[in-house]
Chain A
Amino acid sequence: MTDPFSLAAGWLHETLLLPMLYAVGAMEWEEIAFGWALFACYGMAQVAVTFAICLPLERWRPVEHWPDQKAVWVDVLYTLVSRVGVLPLVTFVLFYQLQVAMNGWMSDHGWIPPTLERLIPALLGHHLLTFFLYAVILDFSEYWRHRLSHRFGWWWALHSLHHAQRQMTFWSDDRNHLLDDLIGFVWFTAVALLIGIPPLQFPLLVLLLRFLESLSHANARLSFGWLGERLLVSPRFHRSHHGVLAAGQQSANYGAILPWWDVLFGTADFARAYVRTGDPSAEEALATGSYVQQQWAGLRRMARLAGWTDPRRAGRLRRG
């Protein structure tokens, strides 16, 4: 069966990217550009599908009503940059180069680079099953990364940008500080290299996980039922994590896709439902500032919480 995403990517590459690369004398980037075209097509489709599913849900059963949604527009920008634009390209190029370097180094020393399929040969050719196993492992690693980002003060300062949003919608998932994104990329990549995810599946995997993460941020009264809530992270479950009482270094419901890890490690909270979101301790710029203001405010907060600035001196300056 012909893959429509690949066909769309091929069309984009042949009619736009390839002539452009040829014109600017950068044909050595041709293979990379073809790879990016595929991820951009997946990204666009994913944003469209998320929009088509989540927007009606938010209109149908909203948790909150707001007089205006100006704060949401910044989140839309975060989403487009993160899923269609530069980030998938950077992710792919960096990951590919790192994997080439690591695997080459290993094979030079007589070791076989790790892959799940080599560990479990029966997986070879079973792309869906392998894909699912990769997703479970990555989700487990994401649980711990997320939990640690709440644990350390400087890291929480960066991550608090994500929590500062009082108008949480399905667009809010990509609302992250760039440094937080960078740490997340390094973490994700390290795990992906260890289990040998193929470069061409890597962004696809990220996009699939991100769709489910978008849904979990939706401003919608949506629960998956007693059993469903324990199988997959729902908007109800994840909203508790964004609640004003959960903002900070002691939180709950860290899981991104699977709540299994919260249940397993004692951080699950199924009791609270549809709470108010935001971080009362965050400065206003983190909640309602522009993209640049939010990024800058995140850095300032990180410097404060890491102790790099003297809070007493900062206090005197403010009073003066």
Chain B
Amino acid sequence: MRLLLTFILLAALPGPARGSGLAIVLNSGDATLSVLDMAHGTELRRVPVLREPHHVALSPDGADLLVGDAGANEMLFLDPRTGDIRRRVPMADPYHLAFSPNGKWLTVTGLARNQVDLYDAASMALVKRFPLSSMPSHVTYAPDSSMAYVTLQGTDRLAAIDIKRQAVNWIAEVGATPAGVIWLNGKLLVANMGSDHFAVVDPVDGHVDQRVHTGRGAHQLFLSPDRKTLWVNNRVDGTTVALDAATFALIHSYRVPGGPDCIDFAPDGKLWITQRFIQKVGVLDPATGALHSLAVGRSPHGIHLTGDAR
């Protein structure tokens, strides 16, 4: 009787059902995606892909989760609720990707091929290719979708692409080995991985107005969902720092070993951070500073927490 009661109680509990609180992690080093149950911190399954998945973006209508498999030259379209692959589209070297805020455009960087491609988001047709040297890494958009900004890792520069004219507006030097780039309060923030800071850049002409120290190997920047906190991962120091998004004042620095890379935010306030060199995803509780890491595949890079979890 006790056994039966236990069984009924267990069955009534919300289990790790597909679509409720999943973390999808892109294991760039072993050509798989890890699908994790966020509530229980367990890996539910590994989805094989072809070669080398790096970055992920949700389509404007939220219907598809796009994963760029750069080594395979294909874009994967996943069900964002389950992580299942729905279709594969041949695409040259899709490394990082971003949709324009108005949902009309998709920009894809080809880091290995020194190119940035502009696609029509609805038809996925290539509209324009911009050859940009060298190593175009991350991309972000202006809020009005008029411009896309791309970091050029190999030449220490940032490129501004005018979407309407479909032409490069300017290319400016911003610091050593720029990687992550985001738009915040009318400025561009560029994380300089070959240095210890992010640059605050004027989007009009690429002039660097300010440099904000974060730590060695500043790699990626993320804005918290409430837009109050700016998070920066420092790959060489192995830290994740929280800054006031308005003043850039340091709030706290957290030790996150293993090359912290991409971040996504869970509804409980925790940060899920990929740790490239130790095959783990760290779950950081900013309130306590506690970091709990979960094993995933080799060289985990992009991460997406499913819609239901937000």
- Which of A's residues lie within 8 Å of B, judged by CB? 2-3, 6-7, 9-11, 13-14, 18-19, 22, 25-28, 30, 34, 38, 96-97, 100-101, 103-104, 107-108, 112-113, 115, 117-118, 124-125, 198-200
Chain A residues closer than 8 Å to B110, beta-carbon distance: 104
Knowing A10-B278, A30-B193, say if A124 contacts B50 (CB, 8 Å): yes
B108 interfacial by beta-carbon distance below 8 Å = no
List 18 extra interface pairs beyond A2-B295, A14-B278, A34-B276, CB under 8 A: A6-B298, A6-B299, A10-B259, A10-B278, A11-B277, A14-B257, A22-B236, A27-B194, A27-B217, A28-B194, A30-B235, A103-B92, A104-B73, A104-B110, A115-B50, A124-B48, A198-B51, A200-B52
For the complex of A and B, the 10 pairs showing the least CB-CB separation, nearest first, are A125-B48, A10-B277, A27-B194, A27-B177, A100-B112, A107-B92, A104-B113, A107-B73, A6-B298, A22-B236
Knowing A34-B299, A198-B31, say if A14 contacts B73 (CB, 8 Å): no
Chain B residues closer than 8 Å to A38, beta-carbon distance: 29
Most buried by A among B153, B216, B298: B298
Knowing A22-B236, A34-B277, say if A104 contacts B92 (CB, 8 Å): yes
Report the separation of the CA atoms of residues A200 and B10 in the bound assembly, to the nearest whole angstrom.
43
Report the separation of the CA atoms of residues A27 and B50 in the bound assembly, to the nearest whole angstrom.
27
B71 touches A18 (CB 8 A): no
Report the separation of the CA atoms of residues A19 and B153 in the bound assembly, to the nearest whole angstrom.
18
Instruction: Give 1 or 0 for each of B262-282: 1 = CB within 8 Å of chain A CB.
Output: 000000000000001111000
Which B residue sits closest to A200, measured CB to CB? B29
Chain B residues closer than 8 Å to A34, beta-carbon distance: 276-277, 299
Chain A residues closer than 8 Å to B50, beta-carbon distance: 115, 117-118, 124
Chain A residues closer than 8 Å to B258, beta-carbon distance: 10, 14
A14 touches B277 (CB 8 A): yes
Chain A residues closer than 8 Å to B176, beta-carbon distance: 25, 27
For chain B, the bracket of interface size reads: 35 or more
- Which of B's residues lie within 8 Å of A, judged by CB? 29-31, 48, 50-52, 71-73, 90-93, 110, 112-113, 135, 153-154, 176-177, 193-194, 216-217, 235-236, 238, 257-259, 276-279, 295, 298-299
> What is the CB-to-nearest-CB distance from B115 to chain A, in angstroms, rounded to a whole number?
8
Report the separation of the CA atoms of residues A13 and B238 in the bound assembly, to the nearest whole angstrom.
12
B236 touches A10 (CB 8 A): no
> What is the CB-to-nearest-CB distance from A83 to chain B, in angstroms, rounded to a whole number?
21
Chain B residues closer than 8 Å to A25, beta-carbon distance: 176, 194
Report the separation of the CA atoms of residues A3 and B27 in the bound assembly, to the nearest whole angstrom.
13
B238 touches A14 (CB 8 A): yes
Contact with A22, one of B90, B217, B295, B298 (Cβ below 8 angstroms): B217
Knowing A19-B236, A124-B50, A198-B71, say if A10 contacts B279 (CB, 8 Å): yes
> What is the CB-to-nearest-CB distance from B21 to chain A, in angstroms, rounded to a whole number?
24
Most buried by B among A18, A27, A96, A100: A27
Chain A residues closer than 8 Å to B52, beta-carbon distance: 198-200
Report the separation of the CA atoms of residues A140 and B279 in the bound assembly, to the nearest whole angstrom.
35
Report the separation of the CA atoms of residues A75 and B154 in the bound assembly, to the nearest whole angstrom.
39
Chain B residues closer than 8 Å to A117, beta-carbon distance: 50
Which B residue sits closest to A97, measured CB to CB? B112
Which A residue sits closest to B193, measured CB to CB? A27
Report the separation of the CA atoms of residues A7 and B298 in the bound assembly, to the nearest whole angstrom.
9
Report the separation of the CA atoms of residues A96 and B113 in the bound assembly, to the nearest whole angstrom.
11
Which A residue sits closest to B29, measured CB to CB? A200
Q: Can you show 11 pairs from A to B with CB atoms below 8 A apart?
A: A2-B279, A10-B258, A13-B259, A18-B236, A22-B217, A27-B217, A28-B194, A100-B113, A101-B113, A112-B90, A113-B73
Chain A residues closer than 8 Å to B194, beta-carbon distance: 22, 25-28
Chain A residues closer than 8 Å to B295, beta-carbon distance: 2
Report the separation of the CA atoms of residues A304 and B203 in the bound assembly, to the nearest whole angstrom.
65
B277 touches A13 (CB 8 A): yes
Report the separation of the CA atoms of residues A27 and B92 in the bound assembly, to the nearest whole angstrom.
24
Most buried by A among B71, B91, B279, B295: B71
> What is the CB-to-nearest-CB distance from A196 to chain B, in angstroms, rounded to a whole number?
9
Report the separation of the CA atoms of residues A3 and B295 in the bound assembly, to the nearest whole angstrom.
10
> What is the CB-to-nearest-CB distance from B216 to chain A, in angstroms, rounded to a whole number?
6
A18 touches B217 (CB 8 A): yes
Report the separation of the CA atoms of residues A112 and B71 in the bound assembly, to the nearest whole angstrom.
12
